[in-house]
Amino acid sequence: MTPQEHLLKIANTAMPFGKYQGKMLVDLPEEYLLWFDKKGFPQGQLGMLMRSCLELKVEGLDELIKPLKK
């Protein structure tokens, strides 16, 4: 996956379960992602995308991703 594809996935992948089911990953609250960071991210691509999303939020770069949402 190219970096551009990775960012597009973060912007356009919906959370498939839990309190924020249906919200795009980029729109998840940082606190929610930090909770997963402590408890363990899901396996596979979803976990990888959530981890990347947290890194973007911590660095204050998530606002650059939001315009990529479809």
For residue 20, what pLDDT is reported? 98
For residue 70, what pLDDT is reported? 86
For residue 24, what pLDDT is reported? 97
| Nearest-angstrom CA–CA distance, 35 and 9 | 21
For residue 8, what pLDDT is reported? 95
At 16, which helix (H) or strand (E)?
Answer: none
| Nearest-angstrom CA–CA distance, 63 and 66 | 5
Q: Which amino acid is at 27?
A: D
Q: pLDDT digit of tens for each residue in the chain (70 aa)?
A: 899 999 999 999 999 999 999 999 999 999 999 999 999 999 999 999 999 999 999 999 989 898 998 8
For residue 1, what pLDDT is reported? 81
Query: Which tokens go with 69?
Result: 């949402």
Enumerate the domain spans of the chain.
3-63
Asked whether 11 and 26 are in contact (CB, 8 A), the reply is yes
Residue 61 burial class via C-beta count within 10 angstroms: exposed 0-12, middle 13-18, buried 19 and up: exposed
